[in-house]
Amino acid sequence: SILTFEMVIISVKKPDGDGFLYETTTTTSNDDLIAQLCEIWNARLRVRILAPSLRELGKHGPMKKIEEQGLDEVKEKYEDANLIKNEFYVADPSGLRTGNGPGHELAATLNRVADDAEQYCDKSQVQARKNLTLEEINDKIANMRGAVMMAFPMGLPEWDTIKLAMDSVDGLEGTGVGAEVMDPENAALWVAGKEFMKGQLVSDRLGKNEKTKVIAKLQKSGSGPPQREPAVSEEERKAMMAHYFKKQEEMKKLAESQDDDYLASAWADSGNMKRSLQGVGDIRAPGLR
């Protein structure tokens, strides 16, 4: 939903620039707020794993067992493997999946629900001032689950990443985002270098004004206060360095110049700034050009 700023807006921001918006109230307990933010955080992690995995499922089918993984071409040529291939078979270049996809139409459905979930959770929602809700993310995950059931009515093997991540956040263990999972019991919320203490209310940290928006950091307890953000962004720093380098080059060329032509330049005229400020910089005596 689009924010109305009639509630407290928590903008959870990660060091890599990723993040999301969440609405709460000043009367919410910090314990509940942290638990709710962790649920959103973990649900977004599930989408991060599920969305690209669904696209691969549509192209190359379910995952192989770990001991069976490898390029099909190699297995057939050197291991005399007798692979089962359906009518939609497309070999998986990573060797992780069977190659037996569900066909173009069902693959398109998998792609569509994956795109929808990914877009809803994307960090661009912060700029669009759209807050996330756990209910909405769960709906997106339910849509992905339904699409998988349509494509593979017999279900996916128990070792498939999609099945594991679809069932619960515990299924993220061992994946690329497993280390990022947040446990509410061991999570801390920080705003402006101050921690939201458990056992207190949001109002104890932010006051009782419901029309408040803050940038927050959610991290594991015991990590201490998060690093302050730099005064300038990386893009701004690069622009400043480029400007400084350009000026340096100009000054270097000026120092190497053997003539005084530059003295005729407007910027070298000590009275030019004064005339410009007085609005008479372009006024010239009659007959002069």
Least confident span in 47-51, 196-200, 244-248: 244-248
CA 186 from chain center: how many Å? Answer: 23
Cβ atoms within 10 Å, residue 37 = 23
DSSP secondary structure of 171-240: GGTTSTTGGG---GGGEEEEETTEE--TTSBTHHHH-S-SS-EEEEEEEETTS-SPPPPPSS-HHHHHHH
Q: How confident is the model at residue 175 (pLDDT cuts 50, 70, 90)?
A: confident
Both tokens of residue 126? 């912060």
What is the b/e burial string over 38-75, where b = at least 16 CB atoms within 10 angstroms of the residue's CB? bbbbbbbbbbbbbbebbbbbbbbbbbbeeeeebebeeb
Both tokens of residue 259? 């003539």
Q: Is pLDDT of 5 > 60?
A: no
Amino acid found at 69:
Q
Look at the block and give the residue holding tokens 């928590």.
10
Mean pLDDT, to the nearest integer, of 47-62?
96
Both tokens of residue 113? 């629900």
Cα separation, 40 vs 16, whole angstroms: 17
Mean pLDDT, to the nearest integer, of 74-93?
88
Amino acid found at 216:
A
Both tokens of residue 156? 């996916």
Least confident span in 107-111, 134-138, 270-274: 270-274
> Which of 130, 120, 140, 65 is closest to 97 using CA atoms?
65
| pTM for this predicted structure | 0.74
Most confident range, picked from 66-75, 93-102, 277-286: 93-102
Average pLDDT over all residues of the chain: 85
